Amino acid sequence: MGGARLLGLALAAAAVFLLAGPPTSRAAEPPNPNDPCISGTRNVCGTTGVGSYKTYRYGTRWFGDFRNVVPGQFHMYCIDLRFWYPGPDYDYREVPAAGLRNRDNEPVPVANLQRMAYALWTYGRTTNDDTAAAVMLYVHSLMGDARPGEVDPTAIGPAVTALSTRIAREAARYHGPYRVDVALPGEIGAGKTATATIRVLSSAGVPLPNLDLSLSATGASSLPATVRTNAAGVATVGVTATGAGGVHLTATTEPLPSTLPQIFRPSKPQAARNGQRLAAGASQRVSNTDTSGGRKAQVSMSTSATPGEVVSGGRSTDKVTITGALPSYRQNVTVRLYGPFRTVAAIDCATKPVFVSTFQATTTARHASVTPRIGEMGPDGLGWAR
């Protein structure tokens, strides 16, 4: 933004003035006012990007981003009011964002840098002139060295003013550092399905809405590859334990704004003293894992014979049902019929069976019926054994 004679705007909202610093800023100027990139009131170095020129009480300024300065960077925003436009041959180098000071040599609060990082990544990569102007204004407001009215979006128009207010509000709520909160039940039984809850929290503890998360797990099945947080910032997913060894669920965010912005400074001597420093957005992915303990599956078997009484020469059907088995369960079940016996006390399943039937229990066939024809027998009935 701006050169020696090209001055800038930023947010006028009261909340933003708090970020912009007191109106008694010393309004630093470059040691050399002769900006080599200015002709008239325009940048002639070919480094302007998305945005437009506007004229207001401090003169004509570029309200937007810059490019053709650092390889691979296409949306860079100046952070120094009234200093030289960025030149393509100034040999910009990245410097640490931590400990950044404005041109009045005042420290820029870490919270301001975190808000700046959010705005640059979320809104700064735009092709819309008004959005680029709003980001540029917001970035300058966070530096704390603007003169009275120098960071006033109303000079640009209502669209930029509305965007500036929105960016300031969201940056305060949603900036990093971020924390992924993955919550599983304390224990999931083998073969059982439980619900995991996932949130991504901003530095202010606010859940981020409409965020895509990548999922991976061990000890679980039927897990989708991705899930999205809802408008309240919460995502839920069903997790089915495949065994008794517990479940480990990891959620990883889509690219989020970095905690701090990237800051670039001209390295050539004249440009280093007089040129704008630039800020760019960067991203990060954040992940976290939660673990749920396991519990063995309890497999049980029950039978039901019909009819309750069978006459000599009739048929008896016994339904065998297995419950609690895992989806991977495969097991042969053998049914044996013994008898006849004259009394219940005389039932002995160690003798040779009079009928044998086998079936395989699976996730789709966990019960079967066997129907032997009963031969001549006494009135005291038969004994079943499985």
121 and 94, same structural domain? yes
Structure tokens of 317?
């059907």
Residues 6, 68: contact at Cβ < 8 Å?
no
Q: Which of 242, 273, 295 is the last residue of a domain?
A: 295
60 and 113, same structural domain? yes
pLDDT value of residue 189 = 85
pLDDT value of residue 238 = 94
What does the pLDDT look like over 296-342, one tens digit per residue? 445 566 677 777 666 666 676 767 676 665 556 667 777 777 767 76
273 and 244, same structural domain? no
Name the 3-class secondary structure at 15: helix
**Number of folded domains that form the chain:** 3
pLDDT value of residue 362 = 61
Give Cβ neighbours of residue 116 (< 8 Å, ≥ 6 apart).
138, 139, 142, 171, 261, 279
170 and 29, same structural domain? yes
Residues 303, 318: contact at Cβ < 8 Å?
yes
pLDDT value of residue 11 = 31
What residues of the chain score a pLDDT lower than 70? 1-27, 293-302, 308-314, 316, 318, 320, 322-330, 339, 342, 361-386
- Could you tell me if residue 129 is inside a domain? yes
- Could you tell me if residue 308 is inside a domain? yes
| pTM of full prediction above 0.95 | no
Structure tokens of 284?
């990060």
pLDDT value of residue 7 = 34
- Could you tell me if residue 101 is inside a domain? yes
Burial of 132 (0-12, 13-18, 19+ CB in 10 A): buried
How many angstroms separate the CA atoms of 116 and 195, rounded?
A: 36
319 and 247, same structural domain? no
pLDDT value of residue 312 = 60
Average pLDDT, the chain: 83
109 and 127, same structural domain? yes
What does the pLDDT look like over 55-104, one tens digit per residue? 988 889 999 999 999 999 999 999 999 999 999 999 999 999 999 999 99
252 and 264, same structural domain? no
- Could you tell me if residue 87 is inside a domain? yes
- Could you tell me if residue 3 is inside a domain? no
- Could you tell me if residue 5 is inside a domain? no
Give Cβ neighbours of residue 102 (< 8 Å, ≥ 6 apart).
79, 80, 108, 143, 144, 145
- Could you tell me if residue 2 is inside a domain? no
169 and 192, same structural domain? no
Helix (H) or strand (E) holding 131, with range, is helix 129-143
Alpha helices for 246-291 (secondary structure H): 269-274
Residue 361 belongs to domain with CATH number = 2.60.40
Residues 325, 299: contact at Cβ < 8 Å?
yes
325 and 305, same structural domain? yes
pLDDT value of residue 242 = 86
What does the pLDDT look like over 342-358, one tens digit per residue? 677 777 777 778 777 77
- Could you tell me if residue 7 is inside a domain? no
Provide the residue range defining the domain that includes 59. Answer: 14-175+259-282
pLDDT value of residue 227 = 97
291 and 278, same structural domain? no
244 and 127, same structural domain? no
Can you list the positions of beta strands (E) in 135-255?
A: 179-183, 187-189, 193-201, 212-218, 220-221, 226-228, 234-241, 247-253
327 and 269, same structural domain? no
Q: Which of 273, 295, 317 is the last residue of a domain?
A: 295
- Give the residue carrying structure tokens 């910009």: 92
How many angstroms separate the CA atoms of 175 and 248, rounded?
A: 28
Helix (H) or strand (E) holding 140, with range, is helix 129-143
